[in-house]
Amino acid sequence: MIRVYAGDARRMAPVADASIHLVVTSPPYPMIPQWDELFARLGATTYDAMHTVLEAVWAECVRVLVPGGLLAVNIGDALRSSDGAFALWPNHAEVLVRGRRLGLTPLPYLLWKKPMNRPNAYLGSGFLPPNAYVTLDCEYILLFRKGRIRRLPPHDAARARSRFSRAERDRWFSQLWGDVRAERQGPEGRRTAAFPAEIPRRLIRMFSVEGETVLDPFAGTGTTLWAAAALGRDAVGFEIDPVRAAELRQRASAP
Ligand SMILES: C[S@@+](CC[C@H](N)C(=O)[O-])C[C@H]1O[C@@H](n2cnc3c(N)ncnc32)[C@H](O)[C@@H]1O
């Protein structure tokens, strides 16, 4: 079953406390121009304020997660000039620090190395030191747990059915994911920032059991929701953009 709510995930009132086993999401990235307008509408025009908006959503995730439930956040850092100086905005570090402050336990994270369209993308001039910049070609999948690890009854049938293979374990639980292709964006003006379905698919199989409930508070095009449903999990999504939310709802109610 897929449930979609149109609205701001800073308040997920229809979702009961301790009812979600896994959150898989990718928020709007602070300091990426694509999201400036949205953050401004939510009252945030600085890096700190944008992270405060996201933090309110992480706090709601803490509320709705079951004890031992997991939160997986796909996020990239941003590069942007500030006061005329080029700088890195370390979104992944900010989310880690704020998540920890909310009482979540940070776990070892994944690095998703995106194959670059231009493998030699390079910010600098020619081959002269010292002022060139390293290419930002990895995104993070941060992992947090709420409280202590979750225990399931011995010989739980759904857990046994959710088993992954040795080859899957070896590939999925190694820190660098270099084999997931980035999603193609839609036509200009309708960029979706969707992540490839392989990302939620892996995370859902790694960190939830068949029949459990997966939440995406920043549902976008619904990649997480449909991956969850295809894997026999229930899914809950929030989306603030009314047009996108209506599309999700329509698709979720289609036979
Ligand atoms: C990076 S996109 C998510 C893409 C998604 N993972 C997919 O594959 O389509 C972020 C989404 O979060 C939505 N959003 C931003 N702020 C929100 C908020 N406070 N509550 C709910 N949705 C929000 C945006 O409208 C956008 O669709």
CA torsion sign, 9 to 12 to 14 to 18? positive
- Residue 191 · residue 244 · CB < 8 Å: no
Q: Give, for ligand 1, the residue of 218, 241, 251 to mutate: max count of ligand atoms closer than 8 Å to Cβ.
A: 218
**d(C-alpha 49, C-alpha 42), whole Å:** 10
User: What are the pLDDT digits (tens) for 49-103?
Assistant: 999 999 999 999 999 999 999 999 999 999 998 888 889 999 999 999 999 999 9
With respect to residue 129, please indicate whether it lies within any of the assigned structural domains. no
With respect to residue 109, please indicate whether it lies within any of the assigned structural domains. yes
Among the listed ranges 87-96, 169-178, 189-198, which one has the minimum average pLDDT value?
A: 189-198
Residue whose CA lies nearest to ligand 1 atom number 26: 220
Query: Residue 188 pLDDT more than 50?
Result: no
Residue 35's pLDDT is 97
User: What are the pLDDT digits (tens) for 35-54?
Assistant: 999 999 999 999 999 999 99
Distance 210 CA to ligand 1 centre (A): 25
With respect to residue 134, please indicate whether it lies within any of the assigned structural domains. no
Distance 229 CA to ligand 1 centre (A): 19
Residue 119's pLDDT is 57
Residue 189's pLDDT is 41
Residue 125's pLDDT is 67
Distance 126 CA to ligand 1 centre (A): 38
Residue 130's pLDDT is 87
**d(C-alpha 67, C-alpha 70), whole Å:** 9
Q: Tokens standing for 18?
A: 């301790």
- The reported pTM is 0.95
User: What are the pLDDT digits (tens) for 125-152?
Assistant: 678 888 888 889 999 999 999 999 999 9
Q: Tokens standing for 181?
A: 């292709």
Query: Residue 186 pLDDT more than 90?
Result: no
**d(C-alpha 173, C-alpha 98), whole Å:** 24
Q: Is the CB of 221 under 6 A from ligand 1?
A: yes
Query: From the centroid of its chain, how far is CA 43?
Result: 22
Q: Is the CB of 28 under 6 A from ligand 1?
A: yes
**d(C-alpha 125, C-alpha 133), whole Å:** 10
Residue 231's pLDDT is 98
Domain ranges, residue 237 = 2-124+139-253
Which residue(s) pair with 4 in the sheet?
A: 237
59-70 CB burial, b ≥16 within 10 A, e <16 = bbbbebbbeebb
Query: Residue 187 pLDDT more than 70?
Result: no
Distance 152 CA to ligand 1 centre (A): 32
Residue 184's pLDDT is 66
With respect to residue 131, please indicate whether it lies within any of the assigned structural domains. no
Q: Is the CB of 139 under 6 A from ligand 1?
A: no
Q: Is the CB of 21 under 6 A from ligand 1?
A: no
- For ligand 1, what atom is nearest to the CA of residue 241? 25
Distance 28 CA to ligand 1 centre (A): 6
User: What are the pLDDT digits (tens) for 100-118?
Assistant: 999 999 999 999 998 776 6
- Residue 142 · residue 95 · CB < 8 Å: yes
Q: Tokens standing for 255?
A: 């036979």
Detail the DSSP E strand segments found in 26-174: 65-75, 78-82, 85-89, 105-113, 138-145
**d(C-alpha 131, C-alpha 80), whole Å:** 16
Amino acid at 55: E
Q: Is the CB of 26 under 6 A from ligand 1?
A: yes
CATH code at position 40: 3.40.50.150
With respect to residue 133, please indicate whether it lies within any of the assigned structural domains. no
Q: Total structural domains in the chain?
A: 1
With respect to residue 68, please indicate whether it lies within any of the assigned structural domains. yes
User: What are the pLDDT digits (tens) for 194-231?
Assistant: 999 999 999 999 999 999 999 999 999 999 999 999 99
Q: Is the CB of 238 under 6 A from ligand 1?
A: yes
144-163 mean pLDDT: 96
**d(C-alpha 116, C-alpha 178), whole Å:** 11
